[in-house]
Structure 1
Amino acid sequence: MSGSSAEGVEVVLVKADRTKIRYPAEVLADDGDRVSVRAPWAAPGVRDFGFVRFEPGDVFTEHYWRTRWYAVKEVRTGAGVLKGWYCDVTRPAVVRAGDVVVTDLDLDLWVSADRTVVLRLDEDEFAASGLAESDPVAARRAAAALDLLDHLARGTDPTDPFPPR
């Protein structure tokens, strides 16, 4: 899978060595490192986090990297209104024929549409996961990825995966 394409794939989110969710997505682009896909909200019903609601009709444009320890998901309403970006700290994506497989490492970051709210999420889940003991290198990479995303969301770095303010 490379170049720009309208082919379909399944995004497979793995957590604790089990498939958490899998859903169809349309490939928008694949430059050999980053693969970008678009998919509707895949979970049943509404998920209200308090700071944002994901609900049927929402559209996610998701960016996965083969070399980075995170994924960035732009979230819009069905009418196209930007809600913000939900970022997952993950192992680098594994892209193979028909699948984009991502291993979730529990850490997340939310960035509001106007970039005035940046929330670090699930650091308690990450600490409880035992990754620091079972794979200390991965735990350090995950923590560094969260710090980088936090920095990028608050700054104006040219490698910023979020559009300018």
Structure 2
Amino acid sequence: MSVNSADRARFLEVVLVKRGRTKIRYPAELLADDGARVTVRAPWAGDAVRDFGFVRFEAGDVFTEHYWRDRWYAVKEVRAATGAVKGWYCDITRPAALLGTELVVEDLDLDLWRSADGADVRRLDEDEFAASGLARTDPAAAAAAAAALDELEALARGDGFAALLA
């Protein structure tokens, strides 16, 4: 994504950190920042197709990503190149921090998927979370992460998901 200096204020770099190391960084267009939630849009930043079995992320996909400064998750709407909604991929994270033009988010391994029609809601990577040792090294963060996953799952299975992103 090429950004000229006049538009630079409309762009951020999303920095996803995992266990103290940068996992990925990519440019994203800033859509909104209300002080609590930052919303950005970016094309699929992966090098290759990522096939989870229940969804594929691939070139041409566009992600509208919602990050909160006061919540322990991020919600990413995934659209195909055609514009069709594939679903929402939700990362359990520490609250996001906007540092200059970098939006820094720490991934805590737990994830949730909600299909476009809402029929498929699944918790992901609970084994990775358990293996991370966070419950031992930072019990308060582990409890907040588990509570955030429960909250997101309840919203995804009920009527509150659309309101969360409105």
Task: Identify the TM-score tier after normalising by the shorter chain.
Answer: over 0.9
2:102 aligned with 1:99: yes
Amino acid at match of 2:62: V
Give 1:45 shift: 1.3
SS at 2:164's partner residue? coil
**1:132-151 equivalence runs, <5 A:** 132-151=135-154
- Percent identical pairs in the alignment equals 69
CA distance in 2, matches of 1:159, 1:81: 17
Amino acid at match of 2:83: G
**1:11-160 equivalence runs, <5 A:** 11-157=14-160, 160=163
- Cα RMSD (Å): 1.5
SS at 1:42's partner residue? coil
* Unpaired segments ≥5 residues, structure 1: none
CA distance in 2, matches of 1:67, 1:129: 23
SS at 1:140's partner residue? helix
Amino acid at match of 1:36: T
CA distance in 1, matches of 2:10, 2:115: 30
Structure 1 segments (4+ residues) deviating >6 Å: none
Amino acid at match of 2:38: V
Give 1:97 shift: 1.2
Amino acid at match of 1:122: D
Give 1:25 shift: 0.1
* Unpaired segments ≥5 residues, structure 2: 1-7
Report the count of equivalent residues.
159
Deviations 1:17-54 (A, max 9, x none): 00000000000000001000000000101000000000
Give 1:6 shift: 6.7
CA distance in 2, matches of 1:134, 1:17: 13
Amino acid at match of 1:156: D
- Normalized per residue, the structure richer in helix is 2
Q: Please give the TM-score of this superposition, normalised by the length of structure 1.
A: 0.93
Give 1:81 shift: 0.4
Q: Please give the TM-score of this superposition, normalised by the length of structure 2.
A: 0.92
Give 1:157 shift: 2.9
Q: 8 Å contact 1:153–1:162 — kept in the other structure?
A: no
